Amino acid sequence: MSTPAYFSKYPTIRFERSDDGILVMSLHRDGGSLTFSAAEHDAYVDAFYDVGRDRANRVVVLTGAGGNFITGIDFSTFGDISDPDVWSKVHDEGTQILENIANIRVPMIFALEGKAHVHAEYGLLANIIVAGESASFNDLPHFAGGIVPGDGVYTLWSHFVGPGRAQAMMLDPQPLSARDAKALGVVAEVVPDGEALPRALEIARSWLGKTDLNLRNTRIHFMQPIKERIVREVGYGLSLEGASATALVRTMRAAS
């Protein structure tokens, strides 16, 4: 199987694909844990689109390097987010990333080690989540940081755990352990630390005997209600988030 050009296109994603079509996407920064920046916000729109349109991918496994998924975010890289032109780019990329992950038309597994404290919603768009014992979810950038959680994180959490619990999670962000996430039905399996990716690959291999149409159409069926919510809610949510970001910047400038 030839190596697609996109495998070497994105500096913070390591792509590895088995001969039988299991694609592993590992997010990283120089081989270690990823701190998210504007560069990733831009590039990941195309990265997930490229993965979704490549029909040689039969199962996709999303994970992170360095013992974590995404641990933090560098807001300074986004520029002046109170500028409508700057936020327009953030808005478009934010909606397109989620749409493009949801449009990956083969089953996805999220193999989580460590922290998914930024953009946990990327992992929530997988069909199965396998988490290490010490793994945790959180939402650091939004309400606690002074902005509306409008980029889809509320949409995805409310879909899986209900609106009341999701609102409490957004308004008082605390790490949600892998065990607690499993009790809520979000995580499918909790495994010893370091075993999330091997277990995800084991599950992926168990699906390879299915026809491509079975794999693809099952994913499409499962994702349809989620895609409807993304289209309905995330663009509006990011507009609200942008307004709150502008207010936050102005308040910070007035205080300095």
Catalytic, 233? Answer no
pLDDT in tens, the chain (256 residues): 689 999 999 999 999 999 999 999 999 999 999 999 999 999 999 999 999 999 999 999 999 999 999 999 999 999 999 999 999 999 999 999 999 999 999 999 999 999 999 999 999 999 999 999 999 999 998 999 999 999 999 999 999 999 999 999 999 999 999 999 999 999 999 999 999 999 999 999 999 999 999 999 999 999 999 999 999 999 999 999 999 999 999 999 999 8
Confidence at residue 68, expressed as pLDDT on a 0 to 100 scale? 97
Phi, psi dihedrals of residue 39, rounded to the nearest 5°? -65, -40
Angle at alpha carbon of residue 97, lines to 92 and 101, rounded to 5°: 150
Phi, psi dihedrals of residue 117, rounded to the nearest 5°? -105, -5
Q: Which residues pair with 14 in a beta bridge?
A: 26
Write the CB contacts of 21 (distance below 8 Å, at least 6 apart in sequence).
1, 56, 57, 58, 59, 208
Angle at alpha carbon of residue 109, lines to 105 and 113, rounded to 5°: 150
Cα gap 110→103, rounded to integer Å: 16
Confidence at residue 83, expressed as pLDDT on a 0 to 100 scale? 95
Q: Is 253 helix (H, G, I), strand (E, B) or coil?
A: helix
Cα gap 180→177, rounded to integer Å: 5
Distances (CA, A) of 35 to 38, 68, 85: 10, 10, 24
E strands along the chain, which residues? Answer: 13-17, 22-27, 34-36, 59-64, 70-73, 108-112, 115-116, 128-132, 136-137, 176-177, 189-191
Domains of the chain: 5-197+211-255 (3.90.226.10)
Active-site residue, from 40, 93, 121, 241: 121
